[in-house]
Structure 1
């Protein structure tokens, strides 16, 4: 029993010694940590004086980091813990909290919204509409209504047949009967090339998904718009289209006093000659001048501003296009007009132009080939429109 009791006493002594050594080790470690913390504060103070680029010294020592270190070093709880550590006293607990009178906005703000020298900034990219806004493009309507057919050549020959003379009775046997003179004239419709191109870098096309489609739309429209204009106004010649005004017949109204009447007289005259006019071409402003025509009582004749009539006169459709010269009307029988389609509109991209390969540029080319065939000039009338008044 005595030996057992002695053994227990030895174990208690050993345990006590181990606890004391553990506490001394913890005390030493805490003391070392606070000493290191104190050295850090001293180092920060020195850097403040020397202008050392320390993160805590941001904004000339007035940044939130420096303010936090300074406030923590002066906190009562921290001072008491540091004093106890220096005196080798046991630290039972540490509770320290500081409050900074500083907003997060003074830490980091957008580059464009910084309001003071103490604010740090960050360049935030602006939002961008992913769509590309293309410029205004006038409507193309004539190409939708004119007949067309494909061709595989650079020119198309056709014969214009003219007939003169009238049939008559043979009043006396043996007399010469009335003679009709038929004459065919060989004509050629040239196929012309209409094209346009622009340049762009490969990077900008790759970085802007909608840009390629916008360029394609603009180039397509520019080429087709030029084709529509030349189908009406072309004067022919080398590499040029002969248009409706050049190939058609000039008509002078004799009884019409208003634009609508002039259109009607032209169509009646064509019909009397054996044609079936079914299309009217007018400048949009000329059609508008007809729409706002009013009676002697100031009432609109062609519909009202809130309920305008559709673009039509004398049971025939009207195509309005700025390509028709202002003050000019065109009536036609489309059976005798054909757009010759040699190559439909296409857009090609290549870097083989000039030094584009080494400059990382591409050429974007839009191109079409087409012509116009009018097999009878009397099937197209063009004429001046009389002046009209929009009021009573």
Structure 2
């Protein structure tokens, strides 16, 4: 640039712009750099040089050659302003204010920068699940059959006594019955597309968990309340011994009722090991106070375990409100698992194959044998004040 005249340099740069040999914006920046480099060397030609720069910028921003790049940026506005030319002619000794026109801003709306903004995906919000406690109280076993049979003693007439010499000895009487517990199936299923299961491992895991929880929830209600009709289990409550409220003192609290039920189990020679209550009832019982307004339990700041009269308490929403079950659960009843809970997938159900669909099935098989009904005392708090 220094070896040629300034008009020749402008002519060469201008021809490169109009010839579209490279980006017009890049050539304009090159020209601006050349102008700045010659300010001190060609001060007397500054007026002509600035006019040439303005002409080329006009071409870049929409003049000859058909170039159009939208509104000039703030940098381009400063470079092309009359105020900048005045400052140059004044050899940098003056100062002035340049008013810049707003340019198009990048925003989050569609058509601007919105397409680059992606929402964060939080963990899924699953529906609440119930705390399941009953299975853990019972005895465990397995079976390879569809039926559990066990002799259960029904008669014990013990006539043992002291006997005089040469006297007849007393006769006692014992009797048994053959009890049966049929293995029953608990199952449910859901349909899904093969693509969504292949593409989302998290969804597949969630479905697996939901199906297994559904089995466990139904199992708990069957263990407690099943009536033995049809495919139902015969549960603990239908086979339990009724609570005997006779002799209950007036004004007894709910804890007093539980104590009497525990005593009833003791009288049957089957000492209770635990208590099942409705969880809402248990929370109400924790709020019981004495005549001075003091909590009889640990109070709101306490960390005591759920116990009553030295026995573990298992609150359960599956227990009906206002009811309780006291018993020696591990000895009274046993769960026999024929098939542990499993989740199976199949494309051979109905027209799944031609629809790329999958049937997801969860099932389990089990039997419930209540060996000692007298070990379970079932009742309500109607006798409580």
Question: Smaller-chain TM-score range?
Answer: 0.7 to 0.9
Q: Conserved in 1, the CA contact under 8 Å of 2:59 and 2:65?
A: no
**Closer/same/farther in 2, CA of residues 73 and 41 from structure 1, 3 Å limit:** farther
User: Secondary structure in 2 aligned to 1:123?
Assistant: helix
Output the CA distance in 2 between the equivalents of 1:264 and 1:41: 100
Residue correspondences, number: 331
**Closer/same/farther in 2, CA of residues 288 and 45 from structure 1, 3 Å limit:** same
Q: CA RMSD in A?
A: 3.8
The residue correspondences of 1:26-175 to structure 2 (distance < 5 A) are: 30=13, 32-33=15-16, 36=19, 41=59, 44=62, 56=69, 63-64=70-71, 101-103=101-103, 106=104, 108-111=106-109, 120-167=112-159, 169=161
- Work out whether 1:316 is the aligned partner of 2:311: yes
Q: Conserved in 2, the CA contact under 8 Å of 1:131 and 1:210?
A: no
Instruction: Name the residue aligned to 1:222.
Output: 214
Instruction: Name the residue aligned to 2:362.
Output: 366
**Closer/same/farther in 2, CA of residues 321 and 41 from structure 1, 3 Å limit:** same
Instruction: Name the residue aligned to 1:3.
Output: none
2:331 counterpart (313, 332, 335)? 335
Q: Conserved in 2, the CA contact under 8 Å of 1:110 and 1:121?
A: yes
Output the CA distance in 2 between the equivalents of 1:354 and 1:215: 21
Q: Deviations over 1:163-206 (max 9, x none)?
A: 24342547777876544332211121111111122223333334
CA deviation after TM superposition for structure 1 residue 328, in Å: 1.2
Q: Deviations over 1:309-361 (max 9, x none)?
A: 42222221111111111111111222131011111111222232333333333
1:194 counterpart (186, 200, 212)? 186
Higher gyration radius (CA): 1
Gaps of 5+ in 2: 25-54, 83-97
Instruction: Name the residue aligned to 1:276.
Output: 271
Q: Deviations over 1:219-248 (max 9, x none)?
A: 211110110111000000221100001122
**Closer/same/farther in 2, CA of residues 73 and 248 from structure 1, 3 Å limit:** closer
Q: Deviations over 1:76-109 (max 9, x none)?
A: 8xxxxxxxxxxxxxxxxxxxxx997344xx3543
Q: TM-score, normalised by structure 2?
A: 0.73
User: Secondary structure in 1 aligned to 2:228?
Assistant: coil
The residue correspondences of 1:198-277 to structure 2 (distance < 5 A) are: 198-256=190-248, 257-277=252-272
CA deviation after TM superposition for structure 1 residue 274, in Å: 1.6
Output the CA distance in 1 between the equivalents of 2:361 and 2:140: 24
Q: Deviations over 1:120-167 (max 9, x none)?
A: 354235333352222110111112221111111111111211124342
Q: Deviations over 1:208-228 (max 9, x none)?
A: 442222222222111101101
Output the CA distance in 2 between the equivalents of 1:371 and 1:243: 10
